[in-house]
Structure formats: C-alpha cells, structure tokens
C-alpha cells in the first residue's frame, strides 16, 4: 500500500466537512483544550466535584457519537459485520465520551471560576 | 501511516483515502519547461492530472479539451439509484476543479492526429501538442441494445444506473415501486469492458435489500444475467459473490448477454450459447455495451488486436504510455489496460502519467508504474460493503491486511463509501490525494 500522508488526510477532511467547517472545528477543539489546560493550571488540580459530574455525561457522549454516525450513514447496530466494526464503534463511542467529559469539565470550571473550585 | 492521529478521523478519512487508493505524497520539485500538453477529457483522470501537472511544471502550456460543463462524481450513481442521495449529489461544475493556469477549451475533441501531433475540436480549431493525454472516458452504447433508448429510463420498470445522475434517480423511483409491488427483477451487464464491474452486482444486492426491508422479498424474484461463466473477473471475489448470491436466493443465469428489449411486453432478449432467450421483467437494470468515445475509436490510437471494436488506447499497462506514439498517454476509462475502469484506478494511474511526462520533459526515464490497482467498495446491503482491492494479477491487495478483511461484509467499509469516498475523490481532483 502507498503511504498515506498527513497532508492527504487534511485534504480529505477539508473536502468532507468543507474548509470553513473543518478548520472551525479544529479551532474549537484547540480552544477547548487550551481552556481545559488553563483551568487545571489555575486550580492546580482536577476538581473532583466537576469531574464526577462531567464523567456522568460520558455515556451520553458515547451514545450521541455512535448515534450521530449511524444517522448520517443510514445504518445501525444490525449492520455490524465483523470485529473491526465493533472496534470502530468502541473508538467512536470513546471519542464521544472523552470529548463530552472534557467539554463538560471545562465549561463548569470556566463558569464556576476560581471561587467555585474552593 | 501515522497512527497517532485522532482515531475517528483515522477511520473516517484514512479508510476513505484507502478505498480510492491511498495517496502518494505530493512532490514539491517543479520542472521548468515550455512544453505544450493537451489533455482530452476533464473527468476524474483529466482534472486530477491537470492540477498535478500545473503544480509540477513551471511554464508548461496545459490545455484541457472537454465540452461538458458538468463534472459527474460517478461513484455516487449507485447511492442515488438506491434513494440514499439526490441527483445533484454527483454534480459539480467542471470549471471548479480546473487550475487557473490551465486553458480549458469548452468543446469536444473531434479528431486526433498523432503523426502531426494535433487535436482538432468540434468547431474546427486545431491544437498542437508536445504531449497528449487521452482521458476521454468511455461511451455508453444504448443503441446496441435493440429497442433500448435513454428516454425509456424511469418508465415501465426500466432502470439504468449508468446513464446520468438523473437516470440514476429515475431508476430509484422504478426500483422503489418494484420493491413495493414485487415481481421479477432482472439485472444485466454487457459483454464489453465496462466501468466499475462491481456496480451491476451492488445494485442487485441493494434491490434485494429493499425488498427484504419492505417485507416483500417473498413475492420478488431476482434474476442476475451474467455475460460470461462468472460473476466477477477476479476468481476469489467471484467465488465470494457466488456464495452471497446463493445465500440471498438470486437466480443467476450465466452466459446471457442482453441484446434487445421490448418495453411494451416487458421482455428482454439475451444471446446465450443455446440461442436467444427471452426473460420477462417487472423491473430491469439495463447496463449498455461500452466503448471508447468515437474520437478515440476512429483515431490511430486504439489497439488493433485487443478489445477489437471497442477502441481503447494502446498503452503499456505499466507506464500508460502509448506503444507506438511515445508522446501520447492514456489515463482513466479510455486506457486500454486489462483492469481498472474506476475512479480508484484513475487515482493510481494519474501520478504515473504525471511522473512519465515530467521525466520525459526532464530527459530521463520515468520510474512510477501502475500495477493495475482497482478498488471496489462492493455494497451488499444498505449499511454493509466489502472493500475489494485487486491488481493486474487478480491478487487481493488489501490496504489494511488483517484489519479490514476484503471478503467480509463490514459496516466500516460502508462507512467509507458513504462519507469518505467523495471527499477523497474531490481531494484527488484537486491533485491533493
């Protein structure tokens, strides 16, 4: 197989989402990451109350991500045909779960401010 | 391949890129030249090559000749004919894919003279070239089926996925009605070379799937008329498809080549070793005989002893360079090579032609070769496909061996066809994949 370069992957993703949406999503992801790092540094720790609440949303993130992919591809659980399909679904679910957990924690921490962490 | 990328992006995009054939890294080094390059055809191969050559050659005069203002994403036709996408899913403007530096003549090519090194357009303009790339696609010869005409598509149970996005949509309406009502569904393929030999199989599977989903499979008979003694040219794939056809309860008739249709009686006639046989239908997917376009067929470029009458360009199957005219190349459907009339083949052929031309300009031998790679995400139902990739030697060449099994019906393979393939195709047109 020929090499799949990073440049090609970016080109394909740009075509998939449209240039504006793709880079918009990248910017949002970077901003959320920066905000997350910022609140961790600010509070010098992970606040368990926020983290617990955020974690409770993880299954919702997982289900939402899988549901989203099924809807846009007009398919469903019944179409799973082999191990790689299960692995792909787990990865999609994981991405949704982790993504929403990070987002929820960051939103709480930013809104709650430093005092909320006390 | 870098695996530290986001996994979801990896699955969605990397697999899509793979289905069209994984990309070659873009080359940065440009070559200064004043060569005149003419490309006939602004389809998948022509547009992609125009972009690559424009980026690669400094000062070349690149001309592309094509009368069609609409660029058609042909891999989308099956999805349109399955009611999953609207007709405009496959339609874009040709002008949007061509680099500014390229001169687009919005006319058809009428004559090719490889001795004088000229191409004459429909209006009589003569364009000289130093290098010619024939990427003219192929021609659907509906008139070679007696009684058949494109205007019949979408009426009286007659469908034909290939003719156009609109014909694919009209075919969906007929298939939708047929799977509501039941009856005999008849699926054909021509005895000639054809673009995407997997498409006739896919559409048979999809029709079966709709009939089952609607609870009407019991009153539906599905007949597949194969032109030869097999269902697919690659033996190992043929065996798999044969097994699936058996499981799905399809009635396969081998060595049946459609020669006539009677829309009034709803009967198709097939040439078989036992003589002509009629098969009545309630729904039919007509796939016409195909050949190179007339401008190529009537030129000195085709093979004299292979694909006789079909007119495909006589090129070396590895370098895609003409055997008799070293400054002529062919890419895409019109190339006279044993495999590969798909967008995935075009994707792998174009960088080879690019390399060969640039090398020739630079006064050296080209190093890239085409191994016959073709990819076919063979849809077996809405939600599942088999990612089949093979080469000249009928070898399976899976891009993810041990991960994505080529002969397994997988959701991941469907995922690619649905969301990542068109994006990869578009990136290819821009010369970026």
3-state helix/strand/coil string of B283-338 = EEECCCCEECCHHHHCCCCECCCCCCCCCCECECCCCCEECCCCCEEECHHHECCC
Strand partners, B277: B270
Q: How far is A83 from chain B (nearest CA, A)?
A: 9
Q: Is A26 among the domain residues?
A: yes
In a domain, A1, yes or no: no
Q: What is the pLDDT of residue A3?
A: 54
* Strand bridging mode B109-113 / B118-121: antiparallel
What average pLDDT is seen over chain B? 93
pLDDT of residue A112: 85
**Is the CB of B326 inside 8 Å of chain A's CB atoms?**
no
pLDDT digits (tens, 9 = 90+) for A30-82: 999 999 999 999 988 888 999 999 999 999 999 999 999 999 999 999 999 99
> Are B387 and B416 within 8 A, CB to CB?
yes
Helix (H, G, I), strand (E, B) or coil at A90: helix
Model confidence at A8, pLDDT cuts 50, 70, 90, reads confident
Residues of chain B with CATH 3.50.50.60: 24-138+292-373, 142-290
Q: Which token pair is A107?
A: 């939103």
Average pLDDT for chain A: 90
pLDDT at B187 over 80: yes
> Which positions in chain B touch A81 (Cβ < 8 Å)?
384, 408-411
Instruction: Give catalytic status of residue B91 as yes or no.
Output: no
| Secondary structure (H, E, C), B144-202 | HCECCCHHHCCCCCEECCCCCHHHHHHHHHHHHHHHHHCEEEEECCCCCCCCCCCHHHH
| B18 touches B345 (CB < 8 A) | no
Between A2 and B379, where is the model more confident? B379
> Is pLDDT above 90 for A7?
no
Question: What is the pLDDT confidence band of residue A2, given thresholds at 50, 70 and 90?
Answer: low
Report how far residue B316's alpha carbon sits from residue B359's, in angstroms, rounded to the nearest whole number: 16
The stretch B348-365 carries a mean pLDDT of: 96
Nearest to B74 by CA among B351, B332, B330, B284: B332
- C-alpha torsion sign, points B191, B192, B198, B203: negative
The residue-averaged pLDDT of B188-200 equals 95
Q: Which residues contact B399 (CB under 8 A, 6 or more apart)?
A: A1, B18, B22, B387, B389
Q: Do B411 and A80 touch (CB under 8 A)?
A: yes
Considering only CB atoms, A8 lies closest to which of B412, B415, B427, namely B427
- Between β-strands B328-330 and B131-134, what pairing exists: parallel, antiparallel or unpaired? parallel
Does the annotation mark B376 as catalytic? yes
**DSSP for B406-428, written as a single string:** TTS-BHHHHHIIIIIHHHHHHHH
How confident is the model at residue B277, as a pLDDT?
98
Q: Which chain A residues touch B25 with a CB distance below 8 Å?
A: 3, 5, 7-8
Count CB-CB contacts under 10 A for residue A82: 17
Measured CA to CA, the distance from residue B398 to residue B406 in angstroms comes to: 6
Instruction: State the average pLDDT over residues B33-39.
Output: 97
CA–CA gap between residue B100 and residue B139 (Å, rounded): 28
Site from A3, A6, A16, A61 to mutate, B interface, most B CB atoms within 10 angstroms = A16
User: Which residue would you say has higher pLDDT here, A5 or B112?
Assistant: B112
Q: What is the pLDDT of residue B198?
A: 95
Could you tell me if B338 and B372 are in contact, meaning their C-beta atoms sit under 8 angstroms apart? Answer: yes
Give the CA-trace dihedral at A44, A49, A55, A61, to 10 degrees.
-90
Contacts of A94 in chain B (CB under 8 A): 7
- Residue A46 counted as domain residue: yes
Question: Rounded to whole angstroms, how far apart are CA atoms B389 and B378?
Answer: 10
Q: How far is CA A12 from CA B18, B82, B203, in A?
A: 11, 25, 27
According to DSSP, residue B83 is labeled T
What pLDDT does B161 receive?
96
pLDDT value at B349 more than 60: yes
Split at pLDDT 50, 70, 90, the class of B3 is: very low
For A15, nearest residue in chain B (alpha carbons): B423
Q: How do residues B388-422 score in pLDDT, each as one tens digit?
A: 999 999 999 998 898 999 999 999 999 988 888 99
- Class in CATH terms, B142-290: alpha beta
Catalytic member of B54, B376, B379, B421? B376
Helix (H) or strand (E) holding B126: strand B126-128
pLDDT at B21 over 70: no
Q: In terms of pLDDT, which residue wins out, B317 or A16? A: B317
The H or E element that residue B68 is part of is none
Q: Is the pLDDT of residue B2 over 50?
A: no
Residue B9 has pLDDT above 80, yes or no: no
Q: Where in the sequence is the domain holding A86, given as residue range(s)?
A: 6-116
Mean pLDDT of B193-207: 96
Confidence of residue B17 (pLDDT cuts 50, 70, 90): very low
Give chain A's domain count. Answer: 1
Quickly name the fold that domain B24-138+292-373 has: FAD/NAD(P)-binding domain (3.50.50)
Longest CA–CA span in chain B (Å) reads 66
């Amino acid at each position: 197989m020929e090499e799949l370069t990073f440049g090609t992957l970016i080109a394909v993703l740009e075509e998939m989402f449209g240039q504006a949406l793709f880079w918009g999503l990248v910017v949002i992801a970077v901003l959320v990451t920066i905000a997350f790092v910022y609140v961790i540094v600010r509070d010098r720790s992970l606040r368990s109350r926020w983290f617990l609440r955020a974690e409770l949303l993880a299954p919702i993130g997982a289900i939402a991500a899988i549901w989203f992919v099924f809807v846009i591809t007009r398919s469903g659980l019944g179409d799973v045909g082999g191990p790689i399909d299960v692995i792909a679904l787990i990865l999609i679910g994981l991405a949704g779960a982790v993504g929403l957990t990070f987002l929820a924690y960051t939103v709480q921490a930013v809104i709650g401010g430093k005092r909320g962490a006390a | 391949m870098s695996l530290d990328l986001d996994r979801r992006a990896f699955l969605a995009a990397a697999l899509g890129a793979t289905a069209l054939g994984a990309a070659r890294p873009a080359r940065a080094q440009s070559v200064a030249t004043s060569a005149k390059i003419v490309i006939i055809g602004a389809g998948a191969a022509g547009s992609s090559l125009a972009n690559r050559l424009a980026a690669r050659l400094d000062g070349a005069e690149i001309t592309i000749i094509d009368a069609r203002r609409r660029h058609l994403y042909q891999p989308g036709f099956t999805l349109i004919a399955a009611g999953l996408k609207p007709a405009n899913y496959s339609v874009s403007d040709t002008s949007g894919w061509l680099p500014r530096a390229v001169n687009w003549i919005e006319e058809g090519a009428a004559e090719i003279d490889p001795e004088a090194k000229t191409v004459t357009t429909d209006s009589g303009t003569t364009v000289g070239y130093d290098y010619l790339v024939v990427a003219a696609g192929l021609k659907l010869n509906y008139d070679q089926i007696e009684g058949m005409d494109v205007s019949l598509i979408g009426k009286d149970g007659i469908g034909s996925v290939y003719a156009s996005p609109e014909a694919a949509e009209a075919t969906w309406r007929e298939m939708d009605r047929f799977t509501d009502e039941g009856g005999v569904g008849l699926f054909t393929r021509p005895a000639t070379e054809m673009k995407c030999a997997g498409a006739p199989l896919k559409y048979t599977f999809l029709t079966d799937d709709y009939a089952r989903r609607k609870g009407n499979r019991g009153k539906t008979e599905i007949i597949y008329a194969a032109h030869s003694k097999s269902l697919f040219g690659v033996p190992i794939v043929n065996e798999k498809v044969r097994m699936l056809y058996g499981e799905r309860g399809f009635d396969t008739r081998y060595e049946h080549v459609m020669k006539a249709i009677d829309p009034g009686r709803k009967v198709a006639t097939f040439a078989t070793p036992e003589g002509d046989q009629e098969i009545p239908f309630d729904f039919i997917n007509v796939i016409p005989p195909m050949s190179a376009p007339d401008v190529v067929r009537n030129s000195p470029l085709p093979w004299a002893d292979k694909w006789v009458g079909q007119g495909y360009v006589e090129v070396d199957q590895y370098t895609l360079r003409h055997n008799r005219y070293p400054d002529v190349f062919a890419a895409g459907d019109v190339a006279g090579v044993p495999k590969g009339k798909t967008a995935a083949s075009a994707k792998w052929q174009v960088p080879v032609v690019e390399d060969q031309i640039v090398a020739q300009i630079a006064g050296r031998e080209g190093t890239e070769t085409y191994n016959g790679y073709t990819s076919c995400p063979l849809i077996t139902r809405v939600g599942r496909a088999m990612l089949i990739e093979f080469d000249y030697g009928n070898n399976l060449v899976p891009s993810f061996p041990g991960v994505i099994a080529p002969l397994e019906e997988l959701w991941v393979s469907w995922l690619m066809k649905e969301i990542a393939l068109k994006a990869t195709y578009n990136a290819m047109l821009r010369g970026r994949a």
